[in-house]
């Protein structure tokens, strides 16, 4: 039986409700069939090689050729139905405990006047998504005003944090890679500024390997506890990047201020805060250029290709 327009619309809504990522290959198929069903054969100019995501989408849509809209609509509904049938129903959401915000990829708890922010993507080694950057900033802003005396960052699972989720760099906006690099630099600067200006003692409990931004930020913490499974890695060279998180300034100076409590921290940091903001701005500007470089683009492509992300 042919799929009706209502069947198609229901399938589209069902996809939006999926909790589990079906993978890039499936998403490209769904995208191509949706575009073919709603607009017909691909009529857009082919994106440039640097525009990785839109090029992959264009290739998938263009590969459908002159497939009729009705057939594309039917194939879309069939694909969604088969995927939905193969997946298990989601488990009921666990109610948040007192003092806990149900945060998904980020969990915030408050107990005994300690606010704890936990990276909660153990299956992805606690890699930080773009949304998590926003969520962490909101959590820090809230913690700066609550009745806690200190704030702790830690990770759930084997990793503390594996740094940036590199898929953050594949969602190219209409303005192209230049716009993406600019918005990423702004987000990074605001993110690091939140740590620079945080008014309470900040403690990192590094429960496992730490990579990239999760390492470079440690210079802005007052105290760092590392388990015997903790390792620290800043792969700027292999990724064609430059330092961030004020690490070009803080790393040479970490040993002295790291033992300060809140009052002495404020005295020591007040003079250095302006310098830290200047360093943060300089690093973000440099990274904005590196994100557009051939070395960085090639490194990201190699990384995602090894993991089937393209």
Residue pLDDT, tens place only, 143-168: 999 999 999 999 999 999 999 887 77
> pTM of this prediction?
0.55
Tell me the β-bridge partners of 110: 115
What pLDDT score was predicted for residue 50?
Answer: 56
pLDDT digits (tens, 9 = 90+) for 164-190: 887 776 677 777 888 888 888 899 999
Q: In this structure, which long-range contacts are made by residues 172-180, counting pairs with CB atoms below 8 Å and at least 24 apart in sequence? A: 172/51, 172/52, 172/53, 172/54, 176/51, 177/50, 177/51, 177/291, 177/292, 178/292, 180/291
Q: What is the dihedral of CA 214, 220, 221, 227, to 10 degrees?
A: 40
pLDDT, mean of residues 18-46: 84
Mean of pLDDT values over 270-289: 79
Return the closest-CA partner of residue 194 out of 168, 220, 161, 163: 220
Residue 15 pLDDT exceeds 70 = yes
**Residue partners of 89: CB distance under 8 A and separation at least 6:** none
> Which pLDDT score, from 0 to 100, does residue 172 have?
75
What are 294-306's pLDDT values in tens digits? Answer: 787 777 777 777 7
Computed over every residue of the chain, the mean pLDDT equals 80
- Please state, for a pLDDT cut of 70, what percent of the chain lies above it: 82
Place of tokens 């002495």: 264
Mean pLDDT along residues 117-126: 94
Position 30 pLDDT exceeds 80: yes
Sorting pLDDT into bands at 50, 70 and 90, what band is 43? confident
Most confident of 152-161, 239-248, 284-293: 152-161
Please answer whether residues 227 and 208 qualify as being in contact, where contact means their C-beta atoms are separated by less than 8 angstroms. yes
pLDDT of residue 290: 81
Position with higher pLDDT, 151 vs 256: 151
pLDDT of residue 275: 80
Map the chain to HEC letters.
Answer: CCCCHHHHHHHHHHHHHCCCCCCHHHHHHHHHHHHHHHHCCCCCCCCCCCCHHHHHHHHHHHCCCCCCHHHHHHHHHHHHHHHHHHCCCCCCCCCCCCCEECCCCEEEEEECCEEEEEECCHHHCCCECHHHHHHHHHHHHHHCCCCCCEEEEEECCCCCECCECHHHHCCCCCCHHHHHHHHHHHHHHHHHHHHHCCCCCEEEEECCCEECHHHHHHHHCCEEEECCCCCEECCCCCCCCCCCCCHHHHHHHCCCHHHCCHHHHHHHHHHHHHHHHHHHHHHHHHHHHHCCCHHHHHHHHHHHHHCCCC
Q: Among 198-212, 221-235, 251-265, 273-287, whose mean pLDDT is lowest?
A: 251-265
- Residue given tokens 């760092």 in the structure block: 224
- How does pLDDT run across 57-89, given as a tens digit for each residue? 888 888 899 989 888 888 888 888 887 765 544
241: Cβ contacts below 8 Å, ≥ 6 apart: 287, 290, 291, 296
Q: Which domains does the chain have, with CATH numbers?
A: 5-86 (1.20.80.10), 100-306 (3.90.226.10)
Q: What is the pLDDT of residue 263?
A: 38
Mean pLDDT for 100-118 is 83
């Amino acid at each position: 039986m042919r799929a009706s327009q209502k069947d198609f619309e229901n399938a589209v809504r069902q996809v939006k409700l999926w909790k589990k990522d079906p993978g890039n290959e499936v998403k490209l198929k769904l995208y191509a069939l949706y575009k073919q069903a709603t607009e017909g054969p691909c009529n857009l100019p082919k994106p440039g090689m640097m525009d990785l995501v839109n090029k992959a989408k264009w290739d998938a849509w263009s590969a459908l050729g002159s497939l009729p809209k009705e057939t594309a609509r039917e194939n879309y509904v069939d694909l969604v139905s088969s995927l939905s049938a193969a997946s298990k129903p989601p488990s009921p959401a666990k109610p948040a405990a007192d003092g806990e915000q149900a945060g998904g990829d980020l969990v915030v708890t408050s107990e005994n006047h300690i606010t704890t922010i936990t990276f909660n993507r153990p299956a992805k080694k606690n890699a930080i998504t773009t949304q998590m950057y926003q969520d962490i900033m909101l959590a820090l802003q809230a913690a700066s005003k609550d009745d806690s005396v200190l704030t702790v960052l830690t990770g759930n699972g084997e990793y503390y944090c594996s740094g940036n989720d590199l898929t953050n760099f594949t969602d190219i906006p209409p303005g192209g890679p230049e716009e993406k690099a600019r918005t990423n630099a702004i987000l990074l600067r605001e993110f690091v500024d939140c740590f620079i200006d945080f008014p309470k003692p900040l403690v990192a409990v590094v429960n496992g390997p730490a990579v990239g931004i999760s390492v470079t930020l440690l210079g802005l913490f007052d105290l760092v506890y590392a388990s015997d499974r903790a390792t620290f890695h800043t792969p700027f060279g292999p990724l064609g990047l430059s330092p961030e998180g004020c690490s070009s300034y803080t790393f040479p100076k970490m040993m002295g201020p790291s033992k300060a409590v809140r009052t002495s921290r404020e005295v020591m940091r007040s003079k250095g805060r302006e310098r830290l903001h200047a360093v943060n701005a300089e690093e973000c500007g440099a990274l904005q250029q590196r994100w557009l470089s051939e070395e960085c683009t090639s490194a990201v492509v190699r990384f995602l290709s090894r993991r089937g992300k393209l």
